[in-house]
């Protein structure tokens, strides 16, 4: 299966500066790793997208936010930024350190890639499209946070509904952090099923995404939060897919699946405390590929997160390989700790799944057994 991979070198400008956790070198590491492990051939096509316009961004952002973000980060790149209204529009973790890259322009490129991915899949040119740099799921309509300026996940779903009139979109967020920005966009929208599996929000930023957050109004039951216990590993993820995510996907019958999340659920990430191995990331890709059979194989995959440079390319490659069914073996880049070779958190995960089913059984037949 040939998939589209959206990437261009300018993504490296998504860099908040020396000493910040989010640096642009991640976008140089992965393409090199991919090319060394797997030739394009009939596997993938690298495609360059254009930058999003203000008109594009206005689908998901307020104009004053766009204007401030553009002005501030372009000045920061030149060493001229003034604090001014920074904290009206941005959280502290989005504050650049030293001399950042052209962050706002790169953020526009990420949204531009999301737009092109949607067009490529919806017009039938590709079944699956992967946007390298995508998944900026903390950004909101008028606030940037969590290293995210413009929420390309929200843009993708919004664009698909407005441009292609889709009425059933599934967003699966597998990032270690809850997608609080994405959740806000669609919390009361019945057209979007938002399934978010992440580390227990009582132990990690942004502190949202508890199981009891299930949507509101017409969208009640369409937000499914799965707050995994600290150090939950491959078995916990598999159990959640088999008992929550796969059944609800089959019942919802989405017209397309949007998945976002990178390598930060890996046990050696550094900023998070989950227990996935590289094999677990491949499993996620395989599960999404199988789930997408309900929508003709249509998947848009958005990949950016991960904070251990030695792990990131292995996990990204494993996940994409599972999604596209690439015949390539991706090894674990280091030893798996003995404490994680068996997922000792399965009892907690089983209890969590039962709790989620009880919370949602009124809204989903598959949870009523």
Q: Is the four-CA dihedral 210, 195, 329, 24 of positive or negative sign? A: negative
**DSSP conformation class of 145:** B
Strand partners, 226: 197
10 Å CB burial of residue 337 (0-12, 13-18, 19+) is: exposed
Alpha helices by DSSP H, 95-233: 103-122, 152-164, 180-186
> Which residue has tokens 């300026």?
149
Spot the catalytic one: 137, 138, 308, 360: 138
Alpha helices by DSSP H, the chain: 26-37, 54-57, 63-77, 86-89, 103-122, 152-164, 180-186, 234-240, 246-252, 278-291, 312-324, 346-360
What are 73's two structure tokens? 């980060």
| 138: annotated active-site residue | yes
The Cβ of residue 348 has, within 10 Å, a number of other Cβ atoms equal to 17
Query: Element (H or E) spanning 223, and its range?
Result: strand 223-228
8: left (phi over 0), alpha (psi -120 to 50) or beta: beta
Calculate Rg over the CA atoms of the chain.
19
Whether the bond between 206 and the residue before it is cis, its omega within 30 degrees of 0, is: yes
What are 29's two structure tokens? 């590491």
Cα(313)–Cα(306) distance, integer angstroms? 9
What are 275's two structure tokens? 């227990």
Q: Is 171 helix (H, G, I), strand (E, B) or coil?
A: strand
Q: List residues with catalytic annotation.
A: 138
């Amino acid at each position: 299966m040939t998939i589209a991979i959206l990437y261009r070198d300018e993504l490296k400008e998504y860099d908040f500066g020396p000493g910040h956790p989010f640096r642009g070198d991640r976008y140089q590491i992965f393409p090199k790793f991919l090319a060394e492990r797997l030739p394009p051939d009939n596997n993938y096509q690298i495609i360059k997208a254009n930058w999003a316009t203000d008109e594009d961004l206005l689908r998901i952002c307020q104009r004053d936010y766009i204007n401030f973000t553009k002005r501030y980060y372009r000045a920061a790149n030149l060493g001229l930024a003034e604090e001014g209204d920074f904290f009206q529009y941005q959280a502290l973790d989005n504050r650049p350190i030293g001399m950042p890259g052209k962050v706002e322009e790169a953020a526009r490129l990420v949204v531009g890639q999301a737009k092109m991915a949607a067009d490529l899949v919806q017009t039938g040119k590709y079944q699956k499209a992967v946007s390298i740099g995508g998944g900026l799921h903390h950004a909101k309509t008028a606030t940037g946070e969590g290293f995210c300026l413009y929420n390309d996940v929200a843009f993708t779903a919004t664009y698909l509904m407005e441009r292609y009139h889709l009425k059933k979109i599934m967003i699966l967020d597998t990032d270690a952090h809850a997608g609080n920005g994405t959740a806000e966009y669609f919390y009361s929208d019945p057209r979007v099923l938002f399934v978010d599996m992440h580390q227990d929000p009582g132990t990690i930023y942004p502190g949202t995404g508890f199981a009891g957050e299930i949507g509101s109004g017409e969208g009640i039951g369409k937000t499914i939060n799965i707050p995994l216990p600290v150090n939950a590993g491959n078995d916990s993820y598999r159990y959640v897919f088999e008992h929550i995510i796969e059944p609800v996907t089959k019942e919802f019958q989405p017209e397309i699946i949007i998945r976002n999340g990178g390598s930060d659920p890996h046990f050696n990430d550094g900023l998070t405390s989950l227990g996935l191995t590289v094999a677990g990331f491949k499993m996620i890709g395989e599960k999404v590929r199988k789930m997408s059979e309900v929508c003709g194989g249509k998947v848009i995959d958005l990949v950016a997160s991960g904070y251990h440079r030695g792990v990131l390319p292995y996990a990204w490659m494993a996940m994409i390989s599972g999604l596209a069914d690439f015949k390539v073996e991706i090894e674990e880049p280091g030893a798996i700790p003995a404490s994680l070779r068996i997922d000792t958190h399965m009892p907690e995960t089983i209890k969590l799944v039962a709790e989620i089913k009880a919370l949602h059984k009124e809204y989903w037949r598959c949870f009523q057994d």
